[in-house]
Amino acid sequence: MQLGHGFSLTANYAQTFNPPSISVVTIDYATPPASTSDGYDLGLRYILPGGRLTASLSRYSSTTANNTTTQPPGFSNFNVLLGTTSIANDVVGASTPAAWACCPRRGGRRGQSASRGTELEIVANLTRQWRLTLNYGSADSTQNNTYQNTAPGSRQ
């Protein structure tokens, strides 16, 4: 949207839907839910008459629900852990309740991520052959409930 005198506003909103890969299963062989995300970008741009200088300032934010991540290091052989018997239980093939504590119930917590940041870019066309670009960006990204199927306390 043109504001006049070389200024303009920019805006974008986006959504995604990513079905899980057929090769990805949880540790209890369930199919994880689809990953969904949404985000936006807002910006202000200035173009000097003649196009010799362009400056843009933008702000972005996005969130993602139901991230699919691989197992963390050290969690690759659940069958051995689940088949382990306790010292107090001498029944062959009986597993210990402590072994099941790390496993999720269906519909447990799901991974989430969020990011937001600011970007500033200034481009000066010094001559027809020389361009000078200055770029600054800051980002704040977080992940919650990663490895939700193996994290302590995932049995809610």
| CA–CA dist 86, 70 (Å, integer) | 29
Task: Please provide the average confidence, as pLDDT, over all residues in the chain.
Answer: 76
pLDDT digits (tens, 9 = 90+) for 50-107: 889 999 999 999 998 887 655 555 555 555 555 566 666 666 555 555 555 555 544 4
The proportion of the chain whose per-residue pLDDT surpasses 70, expressed as a percent, equals: 59
3-state secondary structure of 44: strand
Residue range(s) defining the domain that contains residue 103: 2-144
Biggest distance spanned by C-alpha atoms of the chain: 85
Q: Is residue 151 part of a domain?
A: no
For the chain, the straight-line distance linking the first and the last C-alpha, in angstroms and rounded, comes to 49
Backbone dihedral angles phi then psi of residue 97, each to the nearest 5 degrees: -60, -30
Q: Is residue 53 part of a domain?
A: yes
User: Is the pLDDT assigned to residue 155 strictly greater than 50?
Assistant: no
Into how many domains does the chain fold? 1
pLDDT of residue 31: 75
Q: Is residue 56 part of a domain?
A: yes
| Residue at token pair 């689809």 | 34
- DSSP structural state of residue 82: H
